[in-house]
Structure formats: C-alpha cells, structure tokens
Amino acid sequence: MAMIGDLWAGVIDNLWFQLSLLIALAMVSSLVFTRLGLPKVVGQIALGIVIGPSVLRIIVVDEGSATGELIPLFAGFGAIVMLFLIGFECDIKEIYTRKNIVIAIGGISLPWVAGFLLAWFMLPDGDPAYDRFFQSIFIGTALVATSVAITAGVLKEMGIIGSGVAKTILGAAVVDDVLGMVVLAITAGVATGEGIDPLGFIWIVTAAVLFVGLGSYFGMRFAVRLIGRVEKIGIARGMKESGFLLALAFAFMYAFISEQIGISAIVGAFIAGTCFSRCEYRRQFMEGIVFLEWIFAPIFFLSLGIIVDISKLSFEMWLFAVGLAAVAMLSKIIGGGLPARLYGMTRSESVSIGLGLAARLEVAMIIALYGWNAGIIGDDVYSAIIIMGVISVLVAPTLLRVVVGRFGNSNDDIEPSVACKRD
C-alpha cells in the first residue's frame, strides 16, 4: 500500500500530469456550467478551489517546486494571450474616452473609502502587531482594481465584446488597473511610515500615461505596419506564420514594458492587441491566437482557484470576508454605474457596467501579497482579501450575464457593435 501511495504521489506531483488534468477538467467544467447557463470561467475558478488546497488538495502549488514555478507561468501566459486577443476586438480610440476615465475614477474612489470604513468598524481584533488603521486603508486599496482578465473572458464568452457597454467596461477596467497601482503607491507610503515618495508617484503616473499614449501610437503607426509587411513577405515565401509570430512577440514585449513600469502585464498585452484593430491581417492573426487561448486561458482561471487556501480561516474572518465581498461589489456597481448613468446610459447599461467592474482577484492578490510581505497585514486579513476576490469573481460575472440576458434584447447598445467588427 505504501508503494502504491508513493507512486500515486509521484504521479500527482508531476507537472505534465497536472497540466493534462487541468485542461481536461477545464473542458468538463465548461460543458457543465454552460449547460447550466452560467459563465464557464466561473466554473473553472470554482473547480480550481475544489481540486486545490482548500478542499481535495489534488494540486497544490508549492513554492520552489516545478509546479509552483510553471503553473503560475502558464497561467500568466494564458492571461496575456487572452487580453491580447480581446484587444483585437476594440479600437483604442473607443476605449480611452473621457467617459471611461470618469467611470474608472468613480469605480476606484467609492470602493477605496467603503473598504476602509468596513474594515475599520468590522475587522475582528487580531495580532496587536498589526495596526488597525493601516490594515483598514490597505483593505480599501485591495478593493480598487478590477479583474480585467475575468471580465474580458466573460464578455467574450457572452459574445458582446464589441458592444458599447463592453468597450466602456474594458476601458474603465484598464484605467482602474493603472490607477490601482497609483493608489497602492500612496497607501504603501502611508502604511509603512515612509511617506509618499513624490518621485515614485510622479513616475508611475507619467510612465503609465506615456505608455498608453505613445505605446498605442507607435504600435499603430509603425509596429503593425512592419508586422503586416513581414506577413506579406512570409506568405510569398510559404511562411504564413511569420507575421503571427512577430505579432505575438510584440504582445509579450508590451507586457514586459507594462510590468517594468509597475502596472499589470496584461494591460500591456491589451494595448498591443488594440493596435491591430484595423490591421488588414487581423482575422488571420486572431485565428492563431484563439488556439493558444483555448489551451492556456483555462489554466489561468483554474489556477486562480488553486492558489487559494480558504480552509484555515476563523468563523469571524469568514463573516468579515463575506461582508467585504458584498461591499466590494456594491461599491463598484454604484461607483462605476452612477457616472455611467450621468453620462446618459440606460439603467440596465449602468448596472451592467458596474457589474463588469465588480470582479476582483489577480490584482487584489498582488496588492494583498505586497501588504503581507511589507508586514502591513497579517495572514488572516490576507486570506480574507483573497476570499473576497474569489466570491466577487464567482458572483459578479454570473449577475452580469443575467442582467445582459434580461435587458439585451430590448437594448441595442448591448448588442455587438458594427464598428468593432471589421471582418
């Protein structure tokens, strides 16, 4: 029996077995959840929680192991590919509008304040080594940024990625991510007692704005033209993959630059994708990227559930985490939906935008991990933030699908936009 147990443990810990298991389970969960009328990405995250350390412990991402290094790497690759593909569907000029920026600011301000107030009044007493005020302000910071990858995946699955509502959600979500890093810089400076570094603050804001502006201009005016020329030469010489490979290299380069600036790599991939929205070889490139997305995007969503361990939380912290998730979603719905309503959008559109911005996870995890490493928050608060993110990505996309399904037929603006469908 011991030999069988050791053999089974060796099989379970093998990276290639885990990858094959992840892809097969992702397919099964997608079939089940789409049959139930629910977003398949929600099913993949939920399944990741079940097979991860929280429940069955079939796959545990241990730091230092091959699994601990490669599964997150494959997951990150999947997120970059998915956001690159999403970018192909959106014209950059329709994403970064004044309306989207105002919605993003509203979707940041209210969650930051609401998260702080909830934590200040409801956070259970824990280790006295952690200051209640600093933990509270950091919890508010974790509610700021939207999970762009989750939202984009759901919008794409619903077939409305080219609609006016979807472009507003994506535009505001990307701005959210950029501003979220600015908020983190402010919070970290206050909470660590080091104060706000003016140069660091100016750097993040300036670099992010320049990257979005100059990166988009350079991509559309030079990089995409070069890639198109390479594609023509490749086709003439029987190498149809030439342009596609160069386009993929372009996406990874933008992801790298984005990460070096201090914002999420997926933002860079999305910006790279928007540069191809009017490219003559757009359809050919998308066909190649779709195959990569089919393989690696499910690994990304499953991994979000696998890396969470919700089995060690006290009852009090569970209540706090659930309350935090409720405040996180409501504050985004109001903070993002109200400005949309003021800009003349219908009630159903405004609610859809708020729900589209309500999912948090990967950026919240980054912020929570930073706070934990800096000694600002403890283990229990870190776990509560992660649970908040998990609940939000399970609930918000499902509600978004319900709202769009109920009002979509009577609202032309929620239907796919012709302007973004150039094929």
Question: What total number of domains does the chain contain?
Answer: 1
The alpha-carbon radius of gyration of the chain (Å, integer) is 21
- Judge whether 339 lies within some domain: yes
Q: What is the pLDDT of residue 123?
A: 86
Q: 29-64 pLDDT, tens per residue? A: 888 888 877 778 778 888 888 888 888 888 876 655
Residue length of the chain? 423
Which amino acid is it at 245?
Answer: L
- Judge whether 378 lies within some domain: yes
> In which band, very low, low, confident or very high, does the pLDDT at 412 lie, cut at 50, 70 and 90?
very low
CB 285 within 8 Å of CB 29: no
> Tokens at residue 204, please?
């993040």
Q: What are phi and psi of 343, to 5 degrees?
A: -85, 10
- Judge whether 352 lies within some domain: yes
% of the chain with per-residue pLDDT over 90: 20
> In which band, very low, low, confident or very high, does the pLDDT at 411 lie, cut at 50, 70 and 90?
very low
Give the Å distances, CA to CA, from 171 to 26, 97, 188: 28, 8, 26
Average pLDDT over residues 163-186: 79
- Judge whether 31 lies within some domain: no
- Judge whether 214 lies within some domain: yes
CATH at residue 176: 1.20.1530.20
Which amino acid is it at 101?
Answer: I
- Judge whether 10 lies within some domain: no
d(CA 255, CA 275): 14
Which letter does DSSP use for residue 416 in this model? P
pTM, entire model = 0.71
CB 340 within 8 Å of CB 97: no
CA 159 to chain centre: 18
- Judge whether 363 lies within some domain: yes
d(CA 136, CA 170): 28
Residue 81, domain extent: 71-420
- Judge whether 334 lies within some domain: yes
Average pLDDT over residues 263-270: 80
